């Protein structure tokens, strides 16, 4: 697969959903008992399963106003706890392509990048303004510009942050490590051919 065939992620346009609260960990996002499966295919069915059951239909992911949302607005330190890749997998398979929060756990953010999911951070005042706007008008389209690290909604255009290295990976399609390895296949073979113990001597 050539670099030009890799998926470049330049913007996300979608409606948004708000989940309030800080330090939401990966065990809440996808409870451990659902990690015994062989594939991630049905992981989205169990996204926030215990929280949704406890809320008895009042969880944001059960709210019809947010149905079909592709951007999730969260709080501080989202995705903390276990480093399980299952958490972003479940969120992606539920339908989310991007996350906007005050901060993200480092490993969670890295796992998101490896799936082509955008994590954008905003200051506390800006994210509260965005939350209130979306909760008031959940039908509005929200747009994330990856290159500029901005998010636009009816409340206006807000300047956020995406780490430069992560932003470049998304914009250039280098977030897909498998594709990067396939593209470098010839160079890898050439390097391997010059390593003695690989050639048996």
Q: Looking at residue 78, which CATH number applies to its domain?
A: 3.20.19.10
- Whether 19 has a pLDDT exceeding 90, the answer reads yes
pLDDT digits (tens, 9 = 90+) for 65-116: 999 999 999 999 999 998 888 999 999 999 999 999 999 999 999 999 999 9
Mean of the pLDDT values across residues 1-26? 86
pLDDT digits (tens, 9 = 90+) for 122-158: 999 999 999 999 999 999 999 999 999 999 999 999 9
Q: Mapping DSSP to helix (H, G, I), strand (E, B) and coil, where does residue 147 land? A: coil
pLDDT digits (tens, 9 = 90+) for 169-183: 999 999 986 555 456
- The pTM of this model reads 0.86
pLDDT digits (tens, 9 = 90+) for 22-71: 999 999 999 988 877 777 888 889 999 999 999 999 999 999 999 999 99
The pLDDT value given to residue 184 = 45
- Whether 188 has a pLDDT exceeding 70, the answer reads no
The pLDDT value given to residue 179 = 59
Cα 35 to Cα 45, 52, 92, 128, distances in angstroms: 12, 18, 15, 33
The total number of structural domains that make up the chain? 1
The pLDDT value given to residue 4 = 42
The pLDDT value given to residue 2 = 42
Contacts of 2 (CB under 8 A, 6+ apart): 183
133-139: long-range contacts at Cβ-Cβ below 8 A with a sequence spacing of 24 or more? 134/16, 134/17, 134/18, 134/73, 135/18, 138/15, 138/16, 138/17, 138/63, 138/65, 138/66, 138/69, 139/15, 139/65
- Whether 1 has a pLDDT exceeding 50, the answer reads no
Give me the helices (H) in the chain, please: 26-29, 49-55, 86-94, 106-114, 124-136, 164-172, 177-183, 185-193, 196-199
Average pLDDT, the chain: 89
Identify which has the larger pLDDT, 135 or 199.
135
The pLDDT value given to residue 176 = 82
Cα 81 to Cα 6, 109, 129, 132, distances in angstroms: 31, 12, 27, 27
Q: Quote the domain boundaries for residue 22.
A: 3-199
């Amino acid at each position: 697969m050539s670099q030009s065939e890799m998926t470049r992620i330049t913007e996300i346009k979608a409606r948004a959903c708000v989940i309030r609260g800080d330090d939401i960990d990966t065990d809440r996002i996808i409870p451990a008992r659902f990690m015994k499966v062989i594939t991630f295919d049905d992981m989205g069915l169990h996204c926030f399963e215990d929280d949704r059951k406890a809320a008895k239909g009042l969880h944001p992911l059960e709210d019809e106003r947010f149905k079909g949302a592709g951007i999730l607005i969260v709080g501080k330190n989202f995705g903390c706890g276990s480093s399980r890749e299952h958490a972003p997998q479940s969120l992606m398979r539920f339908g989310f392509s991007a996350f906007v929060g005050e901060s993200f756990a480092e490993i969670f953010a890295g796992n998101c990048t490896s799936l082509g999911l955008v994590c954008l951070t905003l200051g506390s005042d800006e994210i509260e303004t965005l939350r209130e706007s979306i909760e008031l008008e959940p039908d509005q389209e929200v747009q994330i510009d990856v290159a500029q690290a901005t998010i636009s909604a009816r409340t206006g255009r807000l300047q956020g942050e995406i780490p430069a290295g992560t932003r470049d990976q998304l914009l250039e399609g280098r977030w897909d490590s498998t594709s990067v390895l396939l593209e470098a296949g010839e160079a890898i073979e050439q390097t391997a051919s010059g390593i003695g113990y690989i050639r048996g001597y």
